[in-house]
Amino acid sequence: MVDDNANFAEYLAYRQRTQVAHRTLDIAERYLLQVRDSAGRSVPDAEVRGG
C-alpha cells in the first residue's frame, strides 16, 4: 500500500510513466477537503462537485 499524498510528486511521476488509464483531470494543484455532515461527523467517500 502506498500513500500518494505522502509523496505527491512521485505519484505525479508515476501517472506520467504508466500505461494505466486515469481520469483526465488536472491534478497538478490539489485541495485537501474534509466533508462533514450537519452533526460534524466525517462523510467518507463524499462526492464533491465544483460550482
- Let me know: does 2 contact 15? Beta carbons within 8 Å: no
Q: How far is CA 6 from CA 2, 31, 49, in A?
A: 8, 14, 24
Give residue 43's pLDDT. 94
Q: Tens digit of pLDDT for each residue in 6-50? A: 888 898 888 889 887 777 777 777 778 899 999 999 999 888 887
Residue 23 is placed in which grid cell? 481520469
Residue 12 is placed in which grid cell? 505525479
Give residue 21's pLDDT. 78
Give residue 4's pLDDT. 86
Q: 3-state DSSP call for residue 16?
A: helix
Q: How much is the pTM?
A: 0.47
Calpha distance 25→8 (Å, rounded): 15
Confidence band for 51, pLDDT divided at 50, 70 and 90: low
Confidence band for 2, pLDDT divided at 50, 70 and 90: confident
